[in-house]
Structure 1
Amino acid sequence: MLYTASVNCMTDAESAYLQMRLVYDQFAKDHFNSPPPLQGKGSVKAIHYIQSFATDDNVTPELAHKIAKAFLRKAFGDDVQAVIATHVDKDHLHSHIIINSYSLSGKKYYANRKSLKRIREISDGVCKAFSIDIHPNLTGKDKSINHKEWEHKKNGTSWKQQIRDEIDKLIPTVNSLDELLQMLEEHGYEVKRSKYISIRAPGQERFVRTKTLGDEYTEDSLNTRIRYREVGAGNTPEQTENSKLQAAYVAIIGDVRILAAQRKKVPRKRIVTAAYSVENDLDVYKLSAQIAVINKDNIKSVGDLQGRIAKLRADYEKQRREINNYIDAHNRLVSLWEQAQLFDELSSKDKLLDAEQLQLTICRQAMEQNNIHSKADIDHLRNQTYSLQTKINALKDTLEKTRQRYDVYCDIAKTYGEISKGDYISNLVEEEKHRKTQTNKKKPHR
């Protein structure tokens, strides 16, 4: 229920059914709840569309829901009666859109091959407006260079540097990689997520993978820079207890510091704008931050850590379900409040159009069913809506903190797994060897 919306009706199923039935019965020759005929096809009461996105389209639930609402208005106008539900329970995001086969003005909608072709074209157009690629061969080649790109080339500035600067500016303000990518989109950047993260600046012709921006901009590095930016310190923490977990971390931090000093590992910076040093090495800082968490949270063993991970996972699911229930109730209150406001507006008009008269009837029905009879009732409904939104926001903050702690604990468990198998140092050494090999290949032959 995180992503539901409705137009000219309530979002909950029972109320939407009653209000769609009212409109349908007004204009159709049969009744909305009439049974299907024994022979032949019955009349179409409602039409169901599914707008689906591939996993590599890099569409967030919020964006999919926004696209569905824009598509609905574009395809069917403002007097359509519809409910939208965007589902996130599958690998591919998809929105279910249910429309009444009659609009508030009595317009009949048809579902056939011709109408489906038109609907698909509108859907594609809306998706393109939101920078979603429909098919690679729709992108023309030999485009002329735009002014912004020409200006970059003229001034010798780099698209990559512009993206780096934007990422560096946003990292202190976000709590997760997903939030960083969302903020980039809000600042006009286009983002694609598949095997690698790719970004395109406003006016840039081609996407660039973040891993080509530098070792500080790979997905792992970005996660580390965000996750541990306020945790731990650059120096090796003292061992507070003689535990196997802490002892392994203290030993490995010393080894990684030696590798960093000898330039035998990838020189990732914690603070990108500062000179590289052992104290500014991202891997050293990550290990130091992780053992700081172990000490601060008094994690005594791997078993203790795994138990906390399991509890955090259960807490997260419980909190998520609780928030969904509150959001379901909030969506219903918002729909009801909107209808109450519309009722108040239409009631004050001297003369109503036929569609407005029908809207007034729908609103009156919703208010009667929910015991809203006066201005005081409407004010109480508004206060309920605000109060519930405040509660949802607080619960979302708690949920985000639970998720962050869960991510950190899982990261510590993964790191310790590599340490205990003897893979951590060897992976760093092999990574640096590979980096040097790739760098040498790019050097021009003399």
Structure 2
Amino acid sequence: MPYTKRIPVHAGERGTGLYNCLEYVRNGDKTEDGILVNSLNCTVEFAEQEFLYIQRKYHKENDDRVAYHVIQSFDIRDDITPEQANEIGMKLCKEIYPNYQCVVSTHIDKGHLHNHIVLNATSLSGRKLEDRLANKIEGLYGLREASDRISLEYGCHVMKDFKPIGKYRRKDYSGKLQETTIKKIYENATAIWKPRIIEQIEKLKKETNSFDELMERLALEGYQIKRGKYLSIKPYGKERFTRLHKLGDEYSEEALRQFFKDKKKGSYVKQLKAVNGYKGRSKYSDSYVEQANNSKLAMELSSKGQQVGKEYPKYYNSRYKEFLRYKELAKSLDFMSAEKIFSYEDLAEKIEAVELELAEREAEYEKQKSIVRTFEENEPFAHTYIETYNAYMLYKEQVEKFGEENITISEDVQKHLTVKENLNDAELQEVREFIRGCGQEKREANRQYSYITYLHSKLTDYDKLRSRALEMNGYIKGMNFGIKMIDEKRSTDEYYCVKLPYTKKYVYLNKNCVTWKEHGVRATMYLIDDETYELYNEDNQKIGEVSGDQLEQISNEEKEEVKEYYASLKVEV
């Protein structure tokens, strides 16, 4: 996962601080002439002025910490495009800095991709960013955790031995060496493990019946437990423990013990939302209501006949699983009602309509990017024109007073004359309009991209319903795979050609049996155990046949071989 750090940026004069930071970040030579620069809640071109406007609007005191410079550096092995790297940076900002102005720039001038994010220290509502290390969202640990989680969705590598936060030296934007000291290093070793610990606890909560049993199972899974004033946990091989309550309020010892008490009593069943109101609307929704009611009945039956003072662990677990299933079905019914989906055909039509719109919007976006590129060919000239305009006007006044032969042309004046010729002798107002127009076209590109992201999200929601429909019809949930596993050249309108993870073998899957966990990023294949699936090699030659339940087994066997190979090289995969 990418290395991340955050550096405070001060206002400074022109050529230092915020101005120079933004100039460095937006450098066209590093960003494909600005194509890889995007922004959130501001315009790329006038970010400095917009940042300072917010600062002056809300903060009159002498505080020159106006921004932060976030660096998100990807592993050289990460198989992502510059556009995807920029997309990761934008997702990161939208998740943890939604109310702040951000400029996100992807640089391609090094051997690895890396994002530079310039973030206003003051939100649009006037609140200063809280940069304490302990802040779970806005602090460095929150930044690291969100960056790792989002990047993992794109298949980025895990960075095991990253540099700890502490004392190090860095260069500022003027080239001077600065000494930076950050005192706390507590959560570094466990930051990327927290989501895994939480995921494991949630999994075991369904299978265990007491707090002590949960701790025992965690120990068997390779986690080390340390008892004391606060219960702490760490994965085997890690140096530092993290306290349970630091994972979240619901994971404190007290909260988990209460969870198991409620699990035995079944008191959480009272939280169930009634679903019978959806009955009779359509056969499709009725099937969901029927399943929900079956889950509710199963919960009720598991409670009947239990004698006071006796333990029924098997029933506690099955009841809790039915409770989770009921909640998911109720959520699906709410969504179907809001979207007016009354049959599988309605769902299929919705998906088809959004996919068509998505294709159209993506084509429009490509055209818009072409317009932006056209503007950006002359944008550097326009900015140089503005920067050197005053020097040129002073030169003209001096020429009028003393004669051209008596005035030496400065470097700035020469620059102005050159760019003025490139801009067809445009006047100041025309150049300003050009820069404003460039900004408008970029904002339009960002607006189109945001809507495309919304359509992807909509398709993901629809595919959740389709997943349940496949399960209702006897399909078994198979492996997850990323979009890069799909061979687009060999895929057809009806079938995806999918490379089995960790292998060089391919299988053709009917597109109706593939659902997207995140549309355009991660998918899940649905299989029938006793159905035969043909395997192909890289040359599209048939090399064998397997049943549905053997596909994942093939992948897992290859995965273990790959892990053993890299372990012998002492390389983290």
Q: TM-score, normalised by structure 1?
A: 0.44
Structure with larger RCO (C-alpha < 8 A, sep 6+): 1
Structure with greater proportional strand content: 2
Q: TM-score, normalised by structure 2?
A: 0.36
